[in-house]
Amino acid sequence: DARVRKIVLESPQKAKESFNSVTSALTCYSYYSDCSENNSSIYIDIDITYNQSFEEKFYNTENRKKAHREFGAALSGGSYTIPWCNESKKYCDFNTTKFEQLP
């Protein structure tokens, strides 16, 4: 999540072009928390993955807050979709094989 949030800080004006990259971590998380057949055997710490406290820590300076607002403003008025479960795993940027095997 932190890697893709860097995109927000570096080029907030390109929000529409980078939207899928920026939301990929959350889409991958949703696969394991909501879609995976064996999601109960996968430990996902929501406090680490995504929460308001992380947002506050990541956007902790005025320049970072400004970039975050610019990113949101650039997306304003757009229409965006949430991938279906059968599509969301492909947004994970790591080898998911070991997480797909039942214990």
State residue 91 phi and psi, 5-degree precision. Answer: -80, -10
pTM (predicted TM-score): 0.66
Cα separation, 29 vs 91, in Å, equals 9
Q: What is the pLDDT along the chain (103 residues), one digit of tens a residue?
A: 777 788 888 999 999 888 888 888 888 878 877 776 655 445 555 545 455 666 777 788 899 989 989 999 999 988 888 888 888 888 888 887 776 665 5
Q: What percent of the chain has pLDDT over 70?
A: 77
Rounded CA-CA distance 50/26 in Å is 8
